[in-house]
Amino acid sequence: MSRRARLALFGIAACGLAALLLWSITGLPKFGDYHGAYGKILDKAAPRERQTSNVVAAVVFDYRGFDTMGEELILFAAVMGVAMLLREPREEEAPVPEDPVRSDALRACGVSFAGATLVLGLWIVAHGYVTPGGGFQGGVILAAAFLLVWLAGSYRSYRRLTPVPIVELGEGTGAGGYVVIGLCALLIGDAFLQNLLPYGVAGKLSSGGSIPLLNWASGLEVTAAFVLLFNEFLSERAVLIDPTRRPS
């Protein structure tokens, strides 16, 4: 098939997809006009039953906790697959290139932003069931804080800050910790992932029962997963900078 024919086929498919997307958007309810029965029930029940101000966190880490475990394991498997595919043709022990940022102003601003982003990510994870946020959102922000070290510093600084064995251990601990919390409920005779701790008082970090534990396990897994992806992609970039690192 010629290039012109491929472009024509892509144009037809893209137009059809765009038409379907526009059609779906026109059927969406207005912003704030929600008619879901289950959402209204949970909006009233979750703060009273689980003492959580963030109903979304109560759904994700309690009422729908089993589905969230599946999402975590999918992310874990996807990242491990990417790591194995990229590492196979690459020399792991090759020297790490030195590519520091030369601008003092950029380094100073970048390090400041990295520290502020790290604190913001920790705050979003820690308060995920009290205010909007959670382990998934905070984990992405925490990973971005580490990436800023490379953007404003150097690849070597980033690698020293994110050693691969520690990152892999963190990802496994986050994903496995979620499952272990569910198994603990089974050991005491409850259902898998049953909320097994005192619910506390709404609005406090000690509220939600076992929701905070699952929330932190998700935050650790998501942070480590994205940092591991960054490690692999930046290692591939280093190969492009110095092709001698790739075995012949």
In the chain, domain spans: 36-245
**With 0-12 CB in 10 A as exposed, 13-18 as middle and 19+ as buried, what is 149?**
buried
Whose structure tokens read 């969406």?
A: 28
Assess contact for 152 and 160: CB atoms under 8 A. Answer: no
pTM: 0.82
Whose structure tokens read 């929330």?
A: 215
Assess contact for 49 and 62: CB atoms under 8 A. Answer: no
Q: What is the pLDDT of residue 119?
A: 95
- What CA–CA distance (Å, rounded) separates 50 from 202? 8
Q: What is the CA radius of gyration of the chain?
A: 22
Print pLDDT tens along the chain (248 aa): 788 899 999 999 999 999 999 998 887 878 777 777 888 888 888 889 999 989 999 999 999 999 999 999 999 999 999 988 887 666 555 556 666 777 788 888 888 899 999 999 999 999 998 998 999 999 999 999 999 998 888 888 888 899 989 999 999 999 999 999 999 999 998 899 999 899 988 888 889 999 999 999 999 999 999 999 999 888 887 766 655 554 44
102: Cβ–Cβ under 8 A, 6 or more apart, which residues?
none
